[in-house]
Chains A and B, each alone.
Chain A
């Protein structure tokens, strides 16, 4: 009885290990050094335009971490996932961008930039800032993933960049809105005048 219970507990434990264990950000070592650089159409310090400008991101295994730690530190490193993350100033009063130590619930880094294979020499990527990026202050974070897809380490840029969003407006939309509004008010006035005239005509004929 006791043995089967123990056996059952073991099976359960084994199964649970396949479930994504909660990863806490505070437990991740910062072993990557990440840098980013804006390639603007129009030069501007720290400012990038969504849809037009590009972001060049370079990441490499941190030299000091490499020396200090035992060899084989990066044995479990499989992939590097690059993400665009909101800076704290853009998270204020916006609960849908809130930071949470539990990475499952964390909403800081919602925009995925690229995923690359891990190499100890590091890599870089050029990313065109997509048009659905909201206007905010950002930094870039690189999560190192193991073969299970769980985060095991990270690195992030030290400087912040501001991204200017597209407005989403177009001249054609503006014109259409004006035309429809004019039609709405115009047809109302037309009908009211029409009924007024008809009314006067019928009372005039009485």
Chain B
């Protein structure tokens, strides 16, 4: 199998904005060559020209946010909007909780269980989604998930018992796996140098759904009560048709307008023989035997998991502690999720900026500092008893917690090249497990008041971020330890057996290793004997 010589178009000069090669980055490992064409003549399989400049894999080399040109930018917008709507649906109940808890006679334990249920389903669905995207493509994965979970949203207006409420929130929560399809899709459409920004922006804007919903649902509830004249206990039920209808519409749009790869859909490409798959067992093995997978699953549980937890509790917290009405509590709660507009992308960008100077060690320090500061601010939030200061602290806290999410995915792509998909899925699942655990311990029973729960959650964030100290890359070092004499090639080739190497299957990883030398930071001496020309020396 001939290696594709300009597969990555890298020149290993530590370009900024290699803001890390994407999240799921499940670019097919042994991609057969697309014709090597000049930019001007790039066409897809059907001979149509691309609107954006593309590389040899026909992945876009820029992101033009204002454009909806097929296939790249259209995918970007379809993908992040679909993810945003899923977030919207999953967190549609919390802003209306003061009404729902009265209608259904819920206790604090019931509300806590429902919150846990809403994020627990996605633990499994996120793990499965990576494989589903591999098999049938992200377009089908995303659309099928959205349209299958929409009936669960329509079941919410029919709920009349606490158990029913918990079950419905559980099934709605499955759609959070669109995170994986979103990132997978971005990685298929955007060149590795910019896929980080594309992914971070798409993920951040998707997460905003958790904020937008806190604004929209109380508003819709109010309109239904005032203008249609429904009773409170009926109005909230009607309000749930909004997320349901949006999700169905979006699922249809994804099906009709979306496209799996720049050149076409999976089914067509499989028939043409353009797509080949790696061995699932091997990919799974290398993910499971890498200790860094577990550390980042844990730490992501305490930035993204905390974000999910706060999405679930914050509106009710402001409503109860500060005696606000539903709309005001919703507006304040929404600002938490809306900060994602820039805080998550900025977290990734910060990671890049720091890496340009200090390499991977800088990224690890960056992540640890941002997430720990977030934890401290969470403690402060729980202790703040006045409304104005509480809002201010919450805003700053939201920035740090979301930036930590972005910064985490600045490191993930370097853990493994072969198993990137599964590791990203595992990290995402870890985020949801963190949300389940945190809600279970601190926000379930009346043992802790909500403000105490928030404060204790902050302490747990600080504690669970400490394991970042133990992440060590032999070729780049860790927070406190310098690198050894190992090289990037040594690290990434260890994922391929001798037999696979003799078949030339490892060439893509070697290309990646070459490009990843930027993670040494500036002014680090070349370490391997074979290197003559200094890779960075920038």
A interface with B by C-beta (< 8 Å)? 92-96, 131-132, 134-136, 165-170, 173-174, 176-178, 180-181, 183-185, 187-188, 191-192, 195, 199, 203
Interface of A is mostly: helix
**When the two chains form their complex, are residues A132 and B232 in contact, meaning their CB atoms are under 8 A apart?**
yes
Please, which residue of chain A has its CB at the minimum distance from the CB of B234? A168
Number of CB contacts from chain A to chain B under 8 A: 108
Majority DSSP secondary structure for residues of B touching A: helix
Q: Are B154 and A131 in contact (CB under 8 A)?
A: no
Query: Which residue on B lies nearest to A174, using beta carbons?
Result: B158
Q: Identify 6 new A-B residue pairs, CB closer than 8 A, beyond the known A95-B446, A165-B102.
A: A94-B101, A135-B105, A165-B103, A181-B155, A187-B248, A191-B255
Quote the shortest CB–CB distance from A131 to chain B (angstroms).
5
A184 surroundings in chain B (CB, below 8 A): 147-148, 150-151, 154, 248, 251
Known A-B contacts A93-B108, A95-B446, A181-B151; the reply to A131 vs B231 at CB < 8 A is yes
Contact (Cβ within 8 A) A166 B231:
yes
Q: List 27 A-B contacts (CB under 8 A).
A: A93-B108, A94-B108, A95-B449, A96-B98, A96-B320, A132-B233, A134-B102, A134-B103, A134-B105, A165-B102, A167-B103, A169-B234, A173-B157, A173-B158, A173-B234, A176-B241, A177-B154, A177-B155, A178-B154, A184-B148, A184-B151, A187-B248, A188-B143, A191-B143, A191-B256, A199-B271, A203-B271
User: Chain A: which residue is nearest B252 at the CB level?
Assistant: A187
> Is B458 among interface residues, defined by CB-CB distance under 8 A?
no
Tell me the complex Cα distance, A136–B107, Å: 12
Contacts of A191 in B (CB 8 A): 143, 252, 255-256
Give the distance in Å from the alpha carbon of A199 to the alpha carbon of B157 in the complex: 39
By a CB distance below 8 angstroms, the chain A residues around B271 are 199, 203
By a CB distance below 8 angstroms, the chain A residues around B534 are: none
Q: How many whole Å from A193's CB to the nearest CB in chain B? A: 12
The answer for the CA separation of A169 and B445 in the assembled complex, in Å, is 29
Known: A134-B102, A188-B144. A169 touches B237 (CB 8 A): yes
How far is it, in angstroms, between the C-alpha of A135 and the C-alpha of B161 when the chains are bound?
A: 12
Residues of A within 8 A of B69 (CB): none
Across-interface contacts of B486 in A (CB, < 8 A): none
| B-chain residues with CB within 8 Å of residue A167 when the two chains form the complex | 103, 160, 233
In the assembled complex, B37 has its CB within 8 A of some CB on chain A: no
Supposing A168-B233, A169-B157, A199-B267 touch, asked if A188 and B103 sit within 8 A by C-beta, the answer is no
Would you call B285 an interface residue if the criterion is a C-beta within 8 Å of the partner chain's C-beta atoms?
no
Query: Contacting B231 at CB < 8 Å: which of A95, A132, A176?
Result: A132
- The answer to whether B237 touches A181 (Cβ under 8 A) is no
Residue B167 lies at the interface, judged by CB distance under 8 Å to chain A: no
Asked if residues B103 and A168 are in contact (CB atoms below 8 Å), the reply is: yes
- Point out which of A95, A136, A185, A187 has the most chain B C-beta atoms below 10 A from its C-beta: A95
State whether B144 touches A180 (Cβ < 8 A): no
CA distance A43 to B107 in the complex (A): 29
Check B233–A131 contact: CB distance below 8 A: yes
In the complex, B324 has a CB within 8 A of chain A = no
